[in-house]
Structure 1
């Protein structure tokens, strides 16, 4: 059985890329199809797998400025032809369009329905005010109809959290099975905890993740805050942050481990589809103070491993942080709460989905690992009309 995996783009390495890699490994797929590929990343992460990039990879600076090519990516996925016996899709934007032209069984793992279509507030905020009304009135309705039609094609629909499954039902009218993404909990569960000295925030410094709210909490509580991660908001945040907020940037694992070992709490004020960093913190025995929305509802258990905050505003989070900092926590219980999100659990559950969808034929094939990737594997390929 020949199996192909489609994933949005391969320009950096994050949670969705890890899911695509696990899907490929579990299924023994022979091909990975992406809209845009970074050659170095492909060589590093998939040295033994043919990776086919669609025509948007030919566009100028596509591997570094891919966000400007949203429309070409949609067009590329909507017209792509993938030849295989089964198609597995990792989608958070437009990759699920590949299932619409695929003739065999397909499984789409949704990290989320496209945010720019179904949760457009953040994207529209980047546009001039005069353009926002036009986008809402003239563009979004037709794009949503097109996107909804594409979502009717997959044989099986998976969502990475309960919140995403609800979005899929609302946007597409489909019932999604929840399959939480794989988290390398073993990597963090052996971390020896030191004395707690600070609050911790981890992630890309972008507006929707609300690092500004974590910094304001540090200001109001007086507790030191360590910020791990980099992004376009860093310079602005550093200028405005009080002296007891320390920015580590994109830090090596040894630095992250030290920051986690001495963290009293992880502050997680943004709304995420799932959120890998909080589960890693739980695996390390660190309680989490999170917004009571999105993926956090699937892993933060109030009073057991953290606190859920109903309002996304500074004083509500400051109150929760003060209370959590003053509380006694059972480290063993916190670590154990992360185990149900392990990599082994993901592999077993995804294999069960494959069995239910494809029968056992996919298990009988041998996974070829001998082939070395060549430059032609990552060159943009023309898309069949």
Structure 2
């Protein structure tokens, strides 16, 4: 069986690249296609020495720095990949990869991280945060997003099978594309976050500091609880908002970006990991659970798949100071076993991902009368 793996673009090793890594682990002979490849040499190990086939966007002016500005051309770019000789195509898609063209003899299984967020329900948030919600530039961006939305919906009919990375994303797929999908949770390197049953007194949040993560909301909640310690790990454009929210609070320590060993040590010793964002999945939450650390998390998005409310953490129902403070108090009234948290994290291991992905691909092949890969 000849197999192709299609991914949007390569420029950093992040969540979607971890999925590609495990696809290549499962199917090491597969060929790799991407819109463009600007992955730094030091981070290319997960590609197993493969040199991807790229699109014309790779050669456009200043593409290395500005390839995202060519988003409007990316649907055309992925449609130019000739996949006619492949029996199986696996796409890893959060924008355009699922839109590749395949013939009736080719089985296309698409692993979807999300429908194109900025073209659907997050369009207004994206426009506000990028400063493009008004004026000529705003009108042009809305027009482009409308075109992308139409293409995204039409191209969602192309995959034979769609896999979603969480129940939340499965619902977004149903809403945006009117397609059904099967949930296969993404792979998490839980081995890199060793279990430690002994816990300290400080609560921890580790996150990129961007608006939708709502880290400043957590800081405001802990400023209202001066007898509880909070450690904030991370950096980003929302750092000024975080510092303003924590101003005058002696119980809040802002540590910035930390080396991996220090991050792991703080997650291992945390009383609980606090998370207030509406996330597609939330790998950081699983990493904390792997350390044996309970979660206090906003109950929408991927957190609902991860947290076993009352057993491995507490879910709260609103992004508000009052909801977070109430959740902390409810958590402190519970007894949550670190061993239960670690066992919960095992559901999201890389081994589990490969087994679940292979099961779904094998079932899809059987339904088409094809041999198993």
Shared fold (TM-score, shorter chain, > 0.5): yes
CA offsets 1:121-158 (integer angstroms, 9 cap, x no match): 32121234424984697554443222111000111110
1:227 Cα deviation (Å)? 2.1
| In 2, Cα distance between equivalents of 1:267 and 1:280 | 13
TM-score, length-scaled by structure 1 = 0.86
* 2:344 corresponds to: 337
Change (3 A) 1:47 1:24: closer
Corresponding residue to 2:153 among 140, 143, 148: 148
Corresponding residue to 1:130 among 121, 128, 134: 134
* 2:316 corresponds to: 309
* 2:124 corresponds to: 121
Change (3 A) 1:163 1:280: same
Pairs within 5 Å for 1:58-207 = 58-82=59-83, 83-99=85-101, 104-119=106-121, 120-125=123-128, 126-131=130-135, 134=139, 138-188=143-193, 190-207=194-211
Change (3 A) 1:66 1:326: farther
| In 2, Cα distance between equivalents of 1:267 and 1:21 | 28
* 1:372 corresponds to: none
**Contact between 1:197 and 1:264, CA under 8 Å: does it hold in 2?**
yes
Secondary structure of the corresponding residue to residue 36 of structure 1: strand
Secondary structure of the corresponding residue to residue 10 of structure 2: coil
Please, which moves more after superposition, 259-268 or 335-344?
335-344
| In 2, Cα distance between equivalents of 1:61 and 1:228 | 33
CA offsets 1:308-357 (integer angstroms, 9 cap, x no match): 11111122112212332353322222222222222111111111122122
CA offsets 1:65-124 (integer angstroms, 9 cap, x no match): 443332233332243333522210000111111146796211100011010111213212
Once superposed, what is the RMSD of the aligned Cα atoms?
A: 2.5
1:235 Cα deviation (Å)? 4.5
Secondary structure of the corresponding residue to residue 57 of structure 1: helix
Please, which moves more after superposition, 325-334 or 103-112?
325-334
Change (3 A) 1:179 1:47: closer
* 2:8 corresponds to: 8
CA offsets 1:179-215 (integer angstroms, 9 cap, x no match): 1111222332x33244423111122221111112122
Corresponding residue to 1:256 among 260, 263, 266: 263
| In 2, Cα distance between equivalents of 1:62 and 1:219 | 44
* 1:287 corresponds to: 294
| In 1, Cα distance between equivalents of 2:263 and 2:339 | 21
**Contact between 2:294 and 2:312, CA under 8 Å: does it hold in 1?**
yes
**Contact between 1:206 and 1:233, CA under 8 Å: does it hold in 2?**
yes
* 2:52 corresponds to: 51
TM-score, length-scaled by structure 2 = 0.88
CA offsets 1:255-313 (integer angstroms, 9 cap, x no match): 01111122111111001111111111112111111111111111212111111111111
**Contact between 1:96 and 1:151, CA under 8 Å: does it hold in 2?**
yes
| In 2, Cα distance between equivalents of 1:100 and 1:130 | 39
| In 1, Cα distance between equivalents of 2:304 and 2:263 | 25
Change (3 A) 1:206 1:100: farther
* 1:224 corresponds to: 229
**Contact between 1:11 and 1:64, CA under 8 Å: does it hold in 2?**
no
Change (3 A) 1:299 1:53: same
Change (3 A) 1:10 1:300: same
Change (3 A) 1:273 1:95: same
| In 1, Cα distance between equivalents of 2:19 and 2:173 | 18
CA offsets 1:222-268 (integer angstroms, 9 cap, x no match): 23222222322235433553343333333222101111122111111
Structure 2, gaps ≥5 residues long: none
Aligned residues: 362
| In 1, Cα distance between equivalents of 2:40 and 2:104 | 29
